Structure 1
């Protein structure tokens, strides 16, 4: 949300509160007559005005960008309203034409303009009817939106000037940029030089259609020699020095435009609706007790004064010959004898009886339809003249090279079409296989693991291998013990069961005893004894032991199967994220060059704000001048936008309170500097992290 939107919403809310007294009854509705209630035509007129007022209300929009009504819509609403004239019957069109005639005679017949309005005071006096109050409320809403449009237009045009100033500073400070600019503008200089030569030849009486080629080229040669002699001083200086001198000249012109616009912003904030709504009683709600007619109508004179102020500022700011330090005096001289200012200095009651809503609406309509577009067109013309060159000038060389080499590139593409298509197909297959093998398949395995799908279990040992080998070992030992019992008695079922249990625990005592006995005579034991059987049984036991160890490892793998799945997915995700960031950085290179980071921007803007406050010249009241106030507003506008992307929502709301205090010149320079210092330590963790 921008500073201008905040101002418009605050003023709009105060206009809404003007309708209500402390008792909760509508001030303007208190004058609603019986005729206005029962007359269908008057009732329809009142409903129409209420709909138009609602269409201009900033409170109806939840979005910041929609809080400002476009100037075309404001003009349309003023035309649809048909605000009352002296006889309360003439439409807005008639009054607008009357006002245009008065505008043409404003500078020459200012005194007569005042007398005409004063003499028509009694006839133009509108009744304090509900309809009349609604007309003034509609005019006030339209003036508030126009005020926001003027502030937004000047602010949006002033801030980008810094980029053009940086462009020329680079050319002035470095030979590399100066040489590049010299190459970029060489066709323009060649064209201007050729045009000057042609003008000289024409002045000498040369005509290609009537003169011979030899005579014409002779005149051209003389003109070139004369031009070379005339430019001998420039040859001494050098082309890069001329370019840098041009950069200095245009930098000064842009700084002058920026300062003039900043001064205009300061005047509009210091004398316009923002100041009146924040510090004066012009927009205060009437109290329940002691409400006078003058106090009740004071806001009307405030609206009229703001219209005159905006008109004067827009006509003054486009004066390219006006010195910067004379801007405030020029605006004051323009508004000194303005009727609307005189009414504001007198009383609100006089405004209500002397000023017709249609005349004020006509002047506001003229401001939006003519004064504001003229200012914008004049500003754009000055920026085109002194700003950085157009993209065509800056990039004509690479575009020309691309155009010249386009045939060669096309020939290469045509001759190697199959190779290029094969390379594109292979690249597509590679990307698809990478996505399938390293992202899609690992993701499926992770999902299957989470769902305990048996087919996806990690295993290095078959499921039934250990059980079968252990059962085989058990049978081999039992059969060996039954076939070769100790002593002469055979094994009972109980002894066999105990032996089975011991084998499951790894006890092979009967086999080992036979092995120990036969190992004493290996040859005899191998031929006549049980040495071979004992060895084979121990081999089976070793196999079972190995499988038990493998089973333990297999259990560990299964318990960490989800971790292994994510490890398998990680390389693909990292590569995909790196490619995405690279492509994003490539596509947003321009934005990355102009804004290093939000934190860096915040620190740079805070530095600029501190420099403005330190270098500001305080007035006799300890306040900063309108020019410094406008420059401060531009930086605060940028600071709010940058902070909105860094600060949390709740912290940003507190930050806006600090910004409102920072731009309030009434608090004084010393307190504004303390606000900047408080912003540094209170929000520094977000500015520097």
Structure 2
């Protein structure tokens, strides 16, 4: 959606409001109700009215919420279907008046006549929007071609590359000049060609070509003073200047259409009011009809002169003034529209769609083709030929190393699959299992029953040792239970006492005592202590099991993100620009808008000239398109209000500069 769509909606809404006011005023009048009833009794008239009402609805912008602009061919078809002619009662009254001045047309035009005018007005609004949109869409891409020539002029490397790219074209032009010169020289010898042999003809032709080449070489002696690279840069500069002129002319045309066309009528205070009084209603109707005819005349004049190569930028406005001054449609005043037939206006509108607009599009394409960037065939012929010449060698290498290439592809595929399985799928399964407390996915460095078995074995060993060495006292069940409790707490006093006693006489204790047995019990105790420590570490790992799962998954995710970004950057297109690049484009557009406003010379009323207004609208259109894809919906609505303030030239250049500053700080979060 662009500001052109907003303009068409605004104009269409004003026409609808005017029609509703007409219906309200007519419903309050008895003559109006009687007049409508008389039309309803005639089947042909009723059918005609129904057909016109359907066409009005089809041409209305409210019928198409997303895009109010109807295709040009569709508008032309609807105008042909309307069959607007002079057969209605009101138009026949006009014909009688032209034959007999004593007869005056009815002061109250028929409803059919009103609907025909409404069809013409709705169609004019659509044509007006299509012309604005066509000029806008063709002017904006010119900036890219201008930037292309900036690159050529800003680097000798690019200038040399451009010279290589366009060398076939220069060779072709030089060959045509040589051929034309040789053909001109051979005109005197044409009579002798029929009297000599084929060999002599070829010798004479070769001599003519050689003479033409030698003479052209002498003519090019002065050009040799300048290097070929300088000539190429001079050619690029001329094409860039032609594109700049074309861009300014189209921007000027855009400003003229917005400043003098239907948008101007809709923007002023009188145009936006909805009158209800009969006298005021008729005045507004005739005023809108005069605006429609003037807009058609203005569109015709703009499309006829905008691509005129002989016109300069300064003389464009004078050419428009001259064309509109000689156009009777532009001279029509509010009181003259009562005698104007809608059929004539419709014919003029169809002529615009069939002739003027296609002529403008054709001449614009020819101008951009002549001065725009070269085609892709010219820009890439050298690498294409190099690829074609080396295709045999590449094919031979592929055939000779077919097995190695297939093996490499298979290994690469296996590596990718194994990486995906081992570093993405399996860690993901483990993380999911950890979240669901799956026992098979728990992190553990020792078995669950290991500590319990070793501790029970230690208790039995200590109890048996105490039974075998009672130290003069008999141990009952209570003493044994107390001993087991102490062993669980790590107390091995009976074993340690025996160990200390036997350690006084090691050799005797080893042979006759319990030194070895006490030592083995202590080894079991050490094993249990180690397992207790390992159990603490195991509990710590289980408490952080989810963290370790994500740590294992992180390398695979990072690699996948890096590969996906690389692939998107390699194979992505301009429609999939990154968010940061979109922000950069918006900042660039704001810079261009600021430059246009800063460099503009305002009128005596402090407003922009049409040329600067058109350039501003082109930049604002691109800015608005970028913002629609970047800003949230509610923020974008606020942004549209600021954009409307920015393009309103009635506020003056100073206020427009303040709007640019407001956009910078208000939307800095997204810029």
* Same fold by TM-score greater than 0.5: yes
- With over 3 angstroms needed to count, the CA separation of the structure-2 counterparts of 1:505 and 1:660, relative to structure 1, is same
**Is 1:560 equivalent to 2:544 in the alignment?**
yes
1:363-382 equivalence runs, <5 A: 363-382=348-367
**For residue 649 of structure 2, what is the aligned residue in structure 1?**
665
Give 1:222's match in structure 2, choosing from 203, 211, 217.
211
Change (3 A) 1:76 1:120: farther
Contact 1:126 1:132 in 2 (8 A): no
Partner of 2:70: 69
Matches within 5 A, 1:131-210: 131-205=112-186
Aligned residues: 657
User: How far, CA to CA, are the matches of 2:527 and 2:578 in structure 1?
Assistant: 71
Secondary structure of the structure 2 residue equivalent to 1:69? coil
Deviates more, 1:515-524 or 1:619-628: 515-524
For residues 574-604 of structure 1, the C-alpha deviation after alignment (integer angstroms, 9 at most, x for no partner) is: 1111111111111247789999822332232
**Match status 1:59 vs 2:47:** no
RMSD (Å), alpha carbons: 2.9
SS at match of 1:281: coil
Where do 1:271-350 residues align within 5 Å?
Answer: 271-287=260-276, 291-343=280-332, 345-347=333-335, 350=336
Q: Structure 1, residues 516-549: CA drift from partner, whole Å, max 9, x if none?
A: 2222222222222222222111111111111111
User: In structure 1, what is the equivalent of residue 248 of structure 2?
Assistant: 259
Is 2:88–2:112's contact at 8 Å kept on the other side of the alignment? no
Matches of 2:346 and 2:104 in 1, distance apart?
18
Q: Which residue of 2 aligns with 1:478?
A: 463
Could you tell me how far 1:571 is from its partner in structure 2? 0.9
Residue in structure 2 matched with residue 677 of structure 1 by the alignment: 661
Q: Which of 375, 378, 382 is the equivalent residue of 1:393? A: 378
Report which stretch shifted further, 533-542 or 166-175.
166-175
- Looking at structure 1, the residues matched to 42 and 424 of structure 2 have their Cα atoms a distance apart, in angstroms, of 75
Q: 3-state DSSP class of the match of 1:485?
A: coil
- Residue-by-residue CA offset, 1:380-417 (whole Å, 9 max, x unaligned): 00111111111111111000101111111111112221
For the structure 1 residues 67 and 180, does the alpha-carbon distance in structure 2 shift closer, same or farther, using more than 3 Å as the test? same
Q: Deviations over 1:283-336 (max 9, x none)?
A: 532246873421244322222222222122111212221121121221122222
Shift of 1:88: 5.6
Compute the displacement of 1:478 (Å): 2.1
What is the CA–CA distance in structure 2 between the aligned matches of 1:595 and 1:161, rounded to whole Å? Answer: 25
Provide the C-alpha distance between the structure 2 equivalents of 1:526 and 1:534, rounded to a whole number of angstroms.
10
**Structure 1 residues 228 and 115: CA distance shift in structure 2, 3 A:** farther
Matches within 5 A, 1:252-651: 252-287=241-276, 291-343=280-332, 345-347=333-335, 350-351=336-337, 353-491=338-476, 493-588=477-572, 597-651=581-635
Q: How far is 1:679 from its partner? A: 2.0
Alpha-carbon distance change, 258 to 510 in structure 1, aligned in 2, over 3 angstroms: same
Question: Which range is displaced more, 114-123 or 224-233?
Answer: 114-123
Q: CA deviation at 1:374?
A: 1.0
Aligned to 1:101: none
Deviation at 1:372, TM superposition (A): 1.0
Compared CA separation, residues 479 and 285, structure 1 to 2 (3 A): same
Distance change (3 Å), C-alpha of 1:120 and 1:300: farther
Shift of 1:3: 1.8
Q: Which residue of 1 aligns with 2:83?
A: 82
Equivalent residue of 1:686, what SS? coil
Structure 2 alignment gaps of length 5 or more:
none
What is the deviation of 1:90? 10
* Preserved CA contact (<8 Å) 2:97 2:104: no
Provide the C-alpha distance between the structure 2 equivalents of 1:289 and 1:139, rounded to a whole number of angstroms: 22
Q: CA deviation at 1:666?
A: 1.0
Mapped to 2, the partners of 1:139 and 1:46 lie a distance apart of: 15
How far residue 166 of structure 1 moved from its aligned partner, in angstroms, is 1.6
Q: After superposition, what is the alpha-carbon deviation per residue over 1:171-203, rounded to whole angstroms, capped at 9, x for unaligned?
A: 223221221111111111111111111111111
- Residue 247 of structure 1 corresponds to 236
How far apart are residue 115 of structure 1 and its match? 12
SS in 1 for 2:295: helix
Q: Give the direction of change, closer, same or farther, for the CA distance of 1:380–1:522 in structure 2 (3 Å limit).
A: same
2:152–2:236 contact (8 Å) kept in structure 1? yes
- Bigger Cα displacement from structure 2, 25-34 vs 634-643: 25-34
CA deviation after TM superposition for structure 1 residue 473, in Å: 1.4
SS of the aligned residue for 1:600 comes to helix
Closer/same/farther in 2, CA of residues 51 and 507 from structure 1, 3 Å limit: farther
Q: Structure 1's 327 and 86: CA in aligned 2 closer, same or farther, altered over 3 A?
A: farther
CA distance in 1, matches of 2:100, 2:623: 50
